[in-house]
Amino acid sequence: MMDHEATINKFFTDNQFRLEEESLETYCCAVRQFLDYTGKPLMDINKTEIRDWLSHLKEKDYKPWTIWSKLTGLRTFFKYCVEESLTDINPAAQIPYPRVGEKLPYYLTKEQLNKLRMHLEGRLQERAIVEILYATGVRISELCAMKKEDIDWSERTIHIPSGKWKKSRIVLFTQQSAAHLQAYLESRTDDLPYVFLSLRNKDRAINPCTIGQWLFRNYSKSLGFKVTPHTIRHTFAAHLIQKGMPLNCIQVLLGHVEPQQTQYYARLYNHARKEKYDEFM
């Protein structure tokens, strides 16, 4: 029988074409942490050990969203173990997810978004990045993976070939964002296939860390309010809600597949609708 680490490595390898690498690494980290905590063979693990571990995480002041993610990792891993006949049951399957509270997704007001745009005047690539993030609602990893061939200029759509959970989808973009993207692309002299290039190494696609940990962190410091790539994604959803787009349509554009994500944005939907109502009362 394989040891724990060999089983985790096989789980990672066998799921590489179904799940994003980032998600897989998060799941494997959770599984290693749990197995180290229990010190038991896979076949001997039951619901009690998992409940004890989740209680331990709560006592250590882990955030509910973090615990939720770790439980998802255990569920996915043990489901795989059952399929591979490594265990008889999935001990995590019936354990309920923790309550994550009523915290709303943070998003920018239209005034804050305009301040960000003004801050980026003259910076063709950075302005194009922000405009495409806002117009499409894509994840930062999806934006960095975009290629020129994915863009249909006549229809103003972008094909996202492999989003989260390896699901492909089509997103739309506005005339305003198209103008900024064209201005940036026309300023380039290379023939590389990537839509956005690294700021330092112009022979490769830009890295998510560069955008999130360098560009957007500087924006936050300069503007005096928090702004991240995921903030722009939330802003995309919130502003569409305020304009009256149905929640189910927004979820398709965002590429959501998990019920927890649905509940998260349902709270945003109700909040944004109330804000719009209050404007007229």
User: pLDDT tens-digit profile of 18-30?
Assistant: 776 667 888 999 9
Range of the domain at 78: 4-83
Q: How many helices and strands, by DSSP H and E, does the chain display? A: 13, 3
Residue 95 lies in a domain: no
pLDDT, average across residues 239-255: 82
- Do 145 and 261 lie in a common domain? yes
The C-alpha atoms of residue 215 and residue 273 are separated, in whole angstroms, by 31
As a whole number, the mean pLDDT across the chain is: 86
- Do 73 and 127 lie in a common domain? no
Residue 105 lies in a domain: no
What global pTM score does this model have? Answer: 0.65
- Do 171 and 224 lie in a common domain? yes
Nearest residue to 69 (alpha-carbon basis) of 22, 37, 30, 33: 30
Residue 104 lies in a domain: no
Residue 103 lies in a domain: no
> Which residue is associated with the tokens 């724990």?
4
- Do 126 and 76 lie in a common domain? no
Q: What is the pLDDT of residue 98?
A: 82
At 74, which CATH number?
1.10.150
- Do 248 and 140 lie in a common domain? yes
Q: What's the number of domains the chain is made of? A: 2
Which has more pLDDT, 245 or 46? 46
Q: What is the pLDDT of residue 69?
A: 85
- Do 147 and 41 lie in a common domain? no
- Do 77 and 212 lie in a common domain? no
- Output the six-digit token pair for 272: 């944004």
- Do 37 and 118 lie in a common domain? no
Helix axis angle, 110-119 relative to 216-223, nearest 10°?
110
